[in-house]
Every structure is written in C-alpha cells, then in structure tokens.
C-alpha cells in the first residue's frame, strides 16, 4: 500500500474514522498454511461512539469497485434513529487490501469472507447480521451466508446475479471482457474495464468521486484482480467456479430470511432476468426497481434511506409497514357485508344461457360483427383455459395479453382468471419504449397476442413464451417464435378446477405513464371482485343491463356484472377514435341503457354528432346512464353530451388505475356544487367537483404545508387543500416490484395516497385541484393549477389550458399554456387574448398569471388523451420565455 496514495480524509463522503486495517489469518484453498493477509475495510463502529446499535450490515462489493461503494449506507446507518454498525470490506487484492499475487476463485473469496468475519468478531455477535452486496459480491456474500446460517438474519442486494444458464450468452459487456485478446488489455493492462464501469453512472460521476474509485487501481499490478475476477466468471460447466455457483444458487432457496433487492434496470450486465431469477429463488424478497438507474445503482439513487427503512421494519418494529397496512385496511372495511364471489362466477352460472352476452362491432380490428351468447362465451373461456393448461400454464404464471378489447380479449381474460394465471395488461399507448419497460418490469411467463404484437415481442425482446391469438400457418408461428395458437385449442367438456385463493394475485395493470414511468398495479382476485361490486352497487347495474363499453378498463367488466356488453367500432386504446355514429350503432345493437366512455371519446362523439341519423338518435335516447372516467369533464362538454343523451344521468366517477372508482358525481350535482361555489358555501369551488365516495370507499385529505408537501394530519374538514387519500376493498394490493413507491403510497396504514390534491366542501363533496407533483410554490404562496385552468378555458377563443410554474421554487410564477380554437402561432399569445385571460383568471381565482403561451397541442398520455404532461410544458415554457429555442416532445 505504500506505493499508492492512501488518505481517507480525501475520499468524498467518507469519515476518516471509518477506515481500518486488520491482519487476518487466511484459510483460503489458494493460500499456504499460516499465511496472513492485510484487509482494508470501512467500519462506522467508532463513529457510533457509545450509541447502542441494532445489528451489523456486512457489505461486499464486486468488480471493479471497493468499499467506497457503500459510503452512503455507512453515513445513513450512523445517523439513523435506530443505528446499525456497517462493515464494508475491500476484498483481498481489491481496493486498499493487500495484493497477494494469487488468482482467487469464488470458493477462495467465500472462505476469505469467513476468515475476515471471524477476525473482526462478527461470528460471535449476538445482534442481527444482514448482508448487503453488489455485482459478484452478491454471489460471494450469499456463499458466506450459507456457511453461517446460524448468524445470518437478512439479505440485501443491489444489481447482481447468482446463476447464469450456460445455454444463454453472457451479457455482451462480459463476453467482450472475456475475449482472449481483449481480456488482459481491458482489465489489467489498461483501466478500460474500470472506466467503462464508472461510466455507467447515469449523468456521470463528479471528478473527485471518480478519482476516489480509481485510487486503489493505479498500476497494472494493482489491477490484476480485476482481470482475475472477470476470468473467474462461471459462464459454463467447464469453468472452475461453476459448481460453486450452482451450489450457492440452489442453497439460497432454503435461506428463509427477510430479503430486499434494489435494482437499476438500465444495467447492461446484470439485467432484469438476473433480478427475476433471484426473486424466484427468494420469493420472500421485497424489490424496488429504479427505472433510471444502471449498474452502479448506489451512485444513481439513494439506496441507503430505503435500506435503513427496511432494516427498521424488519428488525426494530414489531410489524412491517405491509402488515400494519393490511391489518388497518381490514379494520376499515369490516363493516361491509358483501361476500366474496369470484369474477368468473356470473359467467359460469349462465353456461347454459343462450341469451346474448357479448357483441363486437369490429373494434378489435376485425371487419365482421361477432356475437356470443352466455353459453358460447363460457364454452370459449373453458376451451382457452384448458388449452393454456395443456401448454404448461399454471396457477400464478403471468400472461401478458396483447389483444384489442373485444370478445377475444374477454374470453382470454376470463380463462386466465379461471386457472389462476395472473393477467398483465399494458396499453399500446405507452409506445414501444414504454411497453418494453413495462413488460420487462412485469416479466410475464407468456405473451398472448395478435400477429403485430408478436412481431413487436420478437423485435423488442419482450419476455415470455409467445402464443398467437390469431389463426396463423405453422411457418408463420415458427417465424414469430410462437409455441401455439389459441385458435388451435380444441373444444373440451367443461373442466373443474380448484377455486383460486381470493388473496392471490389476479392482475397487473399498468398506469398510463402520464406522471412518470408506467407503474404495474397488482390486484388480487378479492380486489378485482371488489371493483366489480363497487360499480354494481354504486350504479345499480343488474344482470341483463345492456352496456356499451367504450373505455378499455370497463370493456372487460360486462360478464362479471352479468351485463350484455358491446364494444363499439373504434380503437378502444385510442379513445379519440369513438364517433357518435359508432356509439349509437353499438347502443342500437343490444338496446343498451348504459355507456362507459372516456372524456376524450366524448369530445369526439360531440364533434361528430351531426352525422347521427334518426335511428341512431333514437337509440341514444334509450340510454339512462353514462359513466365517463379518466379525467374531469368540463361543464360545457357535459352540456353538449346531455343534448345527445337527453334521458341519461351523466356520471363522472373519479378514480385511477390504483382505485377505480373512488367518488361519483352526476351532472345535476355538479351544477349544484357550482351554484354553492358562486354563493360562497365554505369549501366550494377551486377545482373540479367529483362528488362523494362510491360504495365501500372512504376518503381523507392530508393538508399541504408551505412547501407544497402533504405533511398535515389527514382530515375531512371543509376547505382544506391536501393530498387525497382513499381506502376501499377495491384499492390495489401493491405496486409491482416498486417497494419504495409502495411505502410512500401506504405511509398511512390502510390508506392509499393518490398523488392527487383536492379538498372537501361543506356538503362533503370532493373537489380535485390537480396533482401533488404539479403544485406551484410561487412568490404568492402555494397554488394549485385546476381552478386557473378552468377559468382560462372560459375565455372565448381558448380550447384547452394548462397552468404551470416557471422559475425557482418559492419565487416561481404561474404561466398559462393554451390551445386556441383558431390556429395561432406557437409562442407568446396575442396581446389582447393574453390580457383577457389574465384579467379573467385574476378576478375568478385570485391567481395572477405572469404570461400566456400558445401550443398547437398539449402533450398528453395516449390512454386517456386527456392527461396533460405538465412537466414537459413547464420546461418548454421556461425555455420559450427566456428566448431559447424550445420544442415539445
């Protein structure tokens, strides 16, 4: 070590008290008897002083990092309310530990850890011991854990892998590093391997941090272990470490201790497949994926805070947050008397019913109208369910359904529910990149799709065995890598299957991606049934009701409700494609009395209403219920819809993928609420009135503080703005492999924090004011956007508006970004229009806009065509106002 600068005081983020060395007798197979080696390690024991600590976190780095990787964990553990001792080693020949001139294998390194843990006194502690590891340190630390089962109490891992199937290629980065001509040059003779690894940090490392990572590896001799580490990768049965890898990988299946994985999904080395493999081996693990992090996830994200929270929950608190949430949720809902009935119960109770169940008007891409009786639908569901089981699909397997809404998708969905397969649904509206991210996150075992979906699956590398939903010739199936076609499943007698556990996973439904990367929302069978029961009891839907399903989430509920449902001729994933004629023709086909449609769909229905003929207008007069969910609907639009559906009660339920619906309000109640706002009834106004809780739901509001954060005590008091919280039997079970997000969502046990903001009025009605992420902390205080947006849209010439803040927090100013009725040049709005908008918004809401800008069209999510991407608008507005060239993506 004398030849290398060794000065812990110069290492950013490191307390010099942590740096220690220790002479350790080595028993590694590669060493001669009686050999001792000098270890360098970081240990916060002295920094803890006299404070008692909960236990020890034993951190092991991989290649080519060193103990410096864990500095944030050492710092957080030292400062925590419930502190932990953290020991982070430099493996032998790595970091600032001794260079030995040996070539150490996986078995040697596991033994090294055992030697060190004994020497440092870890083997005799009576406190909990939890490992934390990264990269190849994961396999090594787990090997140590298996040899110290009496000592190990928990496992934490970041991007790593414990098993590589030799039938698959190694990740390209490792294949290149192992190439004979490249191996020594890239790993030891130059700093290439080290530099490439450090270069994986998203946004780059600060120069002083980068220099610190490089400090122990200044010479070829000191980089020898980097080369040897790569050379020891167990990529096939012929490699020396392969049997040890297999032993560890199989052994951890019996390592029944709490586990927590934090994973950067942009890692080109330890890709998602390694995470999924670990999850299968340790199903008890809680997992969080960081979609914007890469291999060195500890540098891209704060992994220390979640790690300490997880440690506290598992080793300090009597119960985990998950347990508390589940218990409180049950207590809140104990008064509901609805007994659980599976989603498939109604369908199979009518398996001999010849009356009409489902009609497709060609919305699934086919040109012909399809009609299925209840008996036909039950037989089709049975045929598909049996066929899937014959392909090997079993209970708990995930199946991604890439089929347009219609009778085909309905049959597939109910077949999955029957056999207990978990349905994965992600909108094509997410785009290729968003879909790929979502599906790689969900990791379905199978994908059932139409031909275009299977082409995309093959091209984009979507996970899952492929099954065609279309009739395809054998060569086409082979070309797509499909193992079968659903159309080839043979009819079969009704087969019985054991009822699925109500609390088992039923579906993973992806959010629209309008507020960040789309999140997988997991529902159990009980929660799916709860959604059905809420809609049924809130809207008095009964068996025999004719339902037009023009909104994808509702297109699949008809059979569960006992309703005869029709899918109109439209692309249900693109709501703007629903025309008035298509809606009316669908209603006429089944003499419908109810319609489910999104706000964006209704905009186009109104726009095309002049095309309706006499028969179609008559069919729409029979509608007595309209449900429109996805985004708040302006009063002017509701008035126009009312003219088309003159006898319908117009309802605009408020909800989200995580809880649909939450509240309900009808047209008349909105009018009454607005009248209350005009007469200054406490709490009325400022936002969109979304009504009162639906059947089974409870709502609270967590007040905002001066920083725009929802930190107050949840309340139902009128006039207080805060984050909307909901509890109901049909609220999601959890987010899929997003532990940190779930912790935030359920920080109030029993409740889901929605991320929306709003308030109650004196009549107990909820008003939505926007998203918590869109709150503006301005020089005038904390402002919410919706009231100013609605006021802006009342000005003649304005088609649509979004209000965003521009400038630093606390001194920011609100800016309106509008679409105009008549085409107007993008940029600053005309002076006269700007003045009218500013004056009207100020007089109506008290908000003073600093500017008004025009865009051709707001960026929106594709699922609803109605949720505006305000962060993108804010960035564009700020650039535009400062004279920079700006383009909306």
CATH number of the domain where residue 722 is located: 2.30.38.10
Same domain, 135 and 29: yes
| Beta sheet of 520-524, edge-to-edge order | 482-485, 465-468, 446-449, 398-402, 422-425, 505-510, 520-524, 734-735
Q: Is residue 846 predicted with pLDDT exceeding 70?
A: yes
* pLDDT score at 576: 80
**Least-confidence region, from 522-526, 570-574, 666-670, 686-690:** 570-574
Average pLDDT over residues 352-378: 84
Q: Is residue 861 predicted with pLDDT exceeding 80?
A: no
Q: Is residue 608 predicted with pLDDT exceeding 70?
A: yes
42 occurs within a structural domain: yes
Q: Is residue 392 predicted with pLDDT exceeding 80?
A: yes
251 occurs within a structural domain: yes
| Beta sheet of 827-828, edge-to-edge order | 798-806, 813-820, 851-854, 827-828
Q: Is residue 865 predicted with pLDDT exceeding 60?
A: no
Please report which confidence band the pLDDT of residue 779 belongs to, taking 50, 70 and 90 as the band edges: confident
582 occurs within a structural domain: no
The reported pTM is 0.90
Same domain, 464 and 514: yes
Please report which confidence band the pLDDT of residue 862 belongs to, taking 50, 70 and 90 as the band edges: very low
Contact 727, 753 (CB under 8 A): no
Percent of the chain with pLDDT strictly greater than 70: 95
Q: What's the CATH number where 178 sits? A: 3.40.50.1820
**Least-confidence region, from 10-19, 235-244, 301-310, 835-844:** 235-244
* pLDDT score at 304: 98
612 occurs within a structural domain: no
* pLDDT score at 222: 96
Same domain, 362 and 418: yes
Query: CA-to-CA distance for 225 and 204, rounded, in angstroms?
Result: 25
SS3 363: coil
CA-closest candidate to residue 66, choices 26, 18, 105: 18
* pLDDT score at 169: 72
Please report which confidence band the pLDDT of residue 98 belongs to, taking 50, 70 and 90 as the band edges: very high
Same domain, 65 and 159: yes
Q: What's the CATH number where 356 sits? A: 3.40.50.12780
* pLDDT score at 167: 67
Torsion of CA 533, 538, 540, 544, to 10 degrees: -50
Same domain, 809 and 726: no
pLDDT digits (tens, 9 = 90+) for 785-819: 888 988 999 899 999 899 999 988 888 899 999 99
**Least-confidence region, from 339-353, 563-577, 842-856, 858-872:** 858-872
Of 476, 507, 525, which residue is a domain's last? Answer: 525
Of 741, 774, 807, which residue is a domain's last? Answer: 774
Same domain, 767 and 804: no
pLDDT digits (tens, 9 = 90+) for 708-739: 999 999 999 999 999 999 999 999 999 999 99
CA-closest candidate to residue 385, choices 363, 409, 417, 358: 417
* pLDDT score at 864: 42
Please state the length of the chain: 889
pLDDT digits (tens, 9 = 90+) for 484-515: 999 999 998 888 888 999 999 999 999 876 66
Average pLDDT over residues 473-481: 95
* pLDDT score at 236: 81
* DSSP H/E element including 231: helix 224-231
Q: What's the CATH number where 883 sits? A: 3.30.300.30
* pLDDT score at 174: 73
* pLDDT score at 683: 66
CA-closest candidate to residue 132, choices 50, 76, 180: 76
Could you tell me which residue, 645 or 182, shows the higher pLDDT? 645
Same domain, 259 and 359: no
Count: domains in the chain: 4
Q: Is residue 367 predicted with pLDDT exceeding 80?
A: no
* pLDDT score at 365: 54
Query: CA-to-CA distance for 526 and 342, rounded, in angstroms?
Result: 7
Note down the domain range covering 502. Answer: 344-525
Same domain, 93 and 208: yes
Query: CA-to-CA distance for 447 and 650, rounded, in angstroms?
Result: 38
Average pLDDT over residues 99-128: 96
Same domain, 244 and 292: yes
731 occurs within a structural domain: yes
Same domain, 14 and 136: yes
**Least-confidence region, from 380-394, 721-735, 781-795, 859-873:** 859-873
857 occurs within a structural domain: yes
SS3 476: helix
587 occurs within a structural domain: no
pLDDT digits (tens, 9 = 90+) for 53-75: 999 999 999 999 999 999 999 99
Could you tell me which residue, 31 or 181, shows the higher pLDDT? 31
Of 500, 525, 550, which residue is a domain's last? Answer: 525
Same domain, 95 and 240: yes
Same domain, 707 and 748: yes
Q: Is residue 842 predicted with pLDDT exceeding 80?
A: yes
Per-chain mean pLDDT for the chain = 91
* pLDDT score at 887: 78
Q: Is residue 321 predicted with pLDDT exceeding 90?
A: yes
748 occurs within a structural domain: yes
């Amino acid at each position: 070590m004398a030849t290398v600068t060794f000065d812990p005081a110069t290492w950013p983020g490191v307390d010099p008290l942590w740096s220690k060395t220790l002479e350790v007798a080595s028993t590694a197979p590669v060493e001669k008897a009686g050999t001792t080696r000098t270890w360098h390690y970081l240990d916060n024991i002295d920094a803890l002083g006299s404070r008692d600590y909960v236990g020890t976190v034993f951190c092991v780095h991989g290649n080519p990092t060193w103990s410096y990787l864990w500095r944030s964990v050492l710092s957080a553990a030292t400062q925590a309310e419930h502190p932990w001792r953290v020991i982070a080693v430099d493996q032998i020949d790595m970091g600032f530990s001794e260079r030995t001139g040996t070539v150490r294998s996986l078995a040697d390194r596991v033994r090294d850890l055992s030697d060190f843990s004994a020497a440092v006194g870890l083997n005799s502690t009576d406190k909990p011991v939890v490992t934390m590891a990264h990269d190849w340190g994961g396999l090594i630390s787990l090997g140590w854990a298996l040899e110290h089962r009496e000592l190990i109490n928990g496992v934490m891992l970041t991007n790593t892998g414990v098993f590589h199937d030799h039938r698959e290629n190694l990740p390209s980065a490792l294949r290149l590093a192992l190439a004979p001509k490249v191996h020594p040059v890239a790993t030891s003779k130059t700093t290439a391997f080290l530099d490439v690894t450090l270069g994986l940090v998203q946004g780059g490392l600060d120069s002083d941090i980068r220099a610190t990572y490089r400090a122990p590896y200044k010479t070829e001799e000191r980089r020898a272990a980097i080369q040897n580490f790569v050379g020891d990768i167990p990529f096939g049965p012929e490699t020396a470490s392969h049997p040890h890898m297999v032993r560890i990988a199989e052994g951890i299946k019996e390592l029944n201790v709490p586990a927590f994985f934090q994973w950067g999904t942009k890692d080109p080395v330890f890709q998602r497949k390694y995470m999924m493999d670990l999850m299968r081996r340790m199903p008890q693990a809680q997992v969080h994926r960081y979609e914007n992090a890469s291999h060195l996830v500890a540098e891209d994200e704060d992994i220390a805070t979640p790690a300490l929270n997880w440690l506290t929950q598992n080793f300090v608190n009597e119960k985990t947050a998950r347990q508390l949430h589940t218990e409180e949720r049950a207590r809140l809902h104990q008064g509901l008397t609805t007994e659980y009935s599976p989603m498939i119960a109604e369908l199979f109770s009518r398996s001999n019913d010849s009356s009409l169940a489902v009609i497709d008007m060609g919305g699934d891409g086919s040109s012909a109208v399809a009609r299925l009786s209840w008996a036909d639908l039950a037989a089709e569901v049975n045929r598909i369910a049996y066929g899937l089981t014959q392909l090997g699909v079993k209970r708990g397997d995930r199946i991604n359904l890439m089929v347009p809404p219609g009778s085909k998708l309905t049959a597939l969905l109910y077949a999955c529910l029957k056999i207990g397969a978990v349905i994965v649904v992600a909108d094509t509206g997410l785009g290729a990149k968003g879909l790929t991210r979502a599906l790689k996150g969900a990791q379905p075992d199978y994908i059932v799709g139409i031909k275009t979906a299977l082409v995309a699956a093959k091209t984009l590398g979507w996970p899952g065995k492929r099954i065609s939903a279309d009739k395809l010739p054998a060569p086409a199936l082979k070309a797509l890598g499909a193992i079968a076609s659903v159309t080839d499943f043979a009819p079969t007698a009704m087969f019985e299957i054991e009822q699925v556990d109500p609390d088992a996973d039923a579906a993973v439904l992806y959010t629209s991606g309008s507020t960040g990367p789309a999140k997988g929302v997991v529902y159990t069978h009980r929660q799916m049934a709860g959604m059905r029961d809420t809609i049924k009891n809130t809207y008095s839907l009964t068996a025999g009701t004719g339902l037009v399903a023009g909104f994808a989430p509702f297109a699949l509920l008809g059979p569960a409700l006992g309703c005869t449902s029709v899918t109109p001729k439209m692309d249900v994933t693109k709501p703007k494609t629903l025309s008035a004629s298509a809606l009316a023709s669908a209603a006429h086909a089944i003499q419908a009395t109810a319609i489910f449609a999104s706000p964006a769909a209704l905009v186009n229905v109104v726009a095309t209403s002049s095309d309706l003929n006499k028969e179609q207008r008559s069919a729409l007069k029979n509608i007595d219920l309209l449900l429109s969910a996805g985004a708040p609907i302006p009063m002017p639009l509701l008035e126009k819809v009312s003219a088309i559906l003159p006898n319908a009660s117009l309802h605009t339920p408020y909800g989200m993928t995580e809880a649909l619906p939450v509240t309900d309000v009808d047209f008349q109640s909105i009018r009454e609420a607005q009248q209350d706002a005009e007469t200054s009834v406490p709490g009325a106004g400022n936002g969109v009135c979304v009504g009162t809780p639906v059947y089974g739901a409870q709502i609270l509001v967590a007040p905002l503080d001066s920083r725009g954060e929802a930190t107050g005590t949840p309340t139902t008091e009128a006039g207080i703005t805060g984050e909307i919280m909901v509890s109901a039997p049909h609220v999601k079970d959890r987010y899929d492999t997003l532990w940190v997000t779930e912790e935030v969502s359920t920080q109030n046990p029993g409740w889901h924090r929605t991320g929306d903001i709003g308030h109650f009025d004196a009549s107990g009605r909820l008003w939505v004011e926007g998203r918590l992420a869109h709150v503006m902390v301005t020089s005038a205080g904390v402002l919410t956007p919706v009231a100013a947006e609605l006021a802006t849209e009342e000005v003649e010439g304005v088609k649509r508006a979004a209000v965003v803040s521009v400038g630093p927090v606390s001194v920011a100013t609100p800016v309106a970004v509008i679409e105009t009725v008549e085409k107007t040049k993008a940029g600053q709005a005309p002076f006269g229009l700007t003045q009218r908008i500013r004056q009207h918004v100020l007089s109506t809401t008290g908000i003073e806009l600093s500017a008004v800008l025009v865009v051709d069209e707001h960026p929106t999510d594709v699922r609803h065509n109605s949720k505006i991407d305000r962060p993108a608008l804010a960035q564009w507005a700020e650039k535009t106002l400062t004279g920079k060239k700006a383009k909306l993506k």
